[in-house]
Amino acid sequence: MLSLFLLRGLPGSGKSSLANELSEDGKYPVFSVDDYFTDTITKNYHFEFDKNYLAYQQCVENTKKSMQVNCTKIFIHNTFTLEWELEPYFKLAAEFNYKVFVVTVENRHGNTNIHKIDDQQLQKMASKYKVTLF
């Protein structure tokens, strides 16, 4: 079975950690919008809002490339607070015959987010966060 795992949750919830754990030390590909803003050598993260759309495009494109070579499991970890953020992955999954698992990750471990997003902004993001029951 070909499986696509969409790990969603607020910043600091542990999405990245869970994705890396589930990938079995890199056996399966792991992608995120954050990859675009992370220096591959220094691992420093520098977000640029005006390039966010490029980060989304890169994440979708990397997912598509992995599907084209039939990776059995693919992990995507993004906030996915809005429905439109999920849609491209559902379309790819249908095109390449992948089963989709949407996993919500919650911060039950008291971690803080690495993006320095303040509590007010996190509350704003949480208010937009919807769980679909279908």
Reported as a single tens digit per residue, the pLDDT across 97-131 is 999 999 999 876 666 666 666 777 767 776 776 76
Question: What CATH number was assigned to the domain covering residues 3-128?
Answer: 3.40.50.300
What global pTM score does this model have? 0.86
Q: Which residue has the tokens 């992948």?
A: 98
Distance CA 4, CA 99 (A): 6
Strand partners, 99: 3
Least Cα distance to 121 among 53, 60, 49 occurs for: 49
Sign of CA dihedral 118, 119, 123, 124: negative
Which helix H or strand E contains 8, and what residues bound it?
A: strand 3-8
Of the listed ranges 18-22, 29-33, 69-73, 81-85, the least confidently predicted one is 81-85
pLDDT at 42: 92
Q: Where are the domains of the chain?
A: 3-128
- pLDDT tier at 75 (50, 70, 90 boundaries)? very high
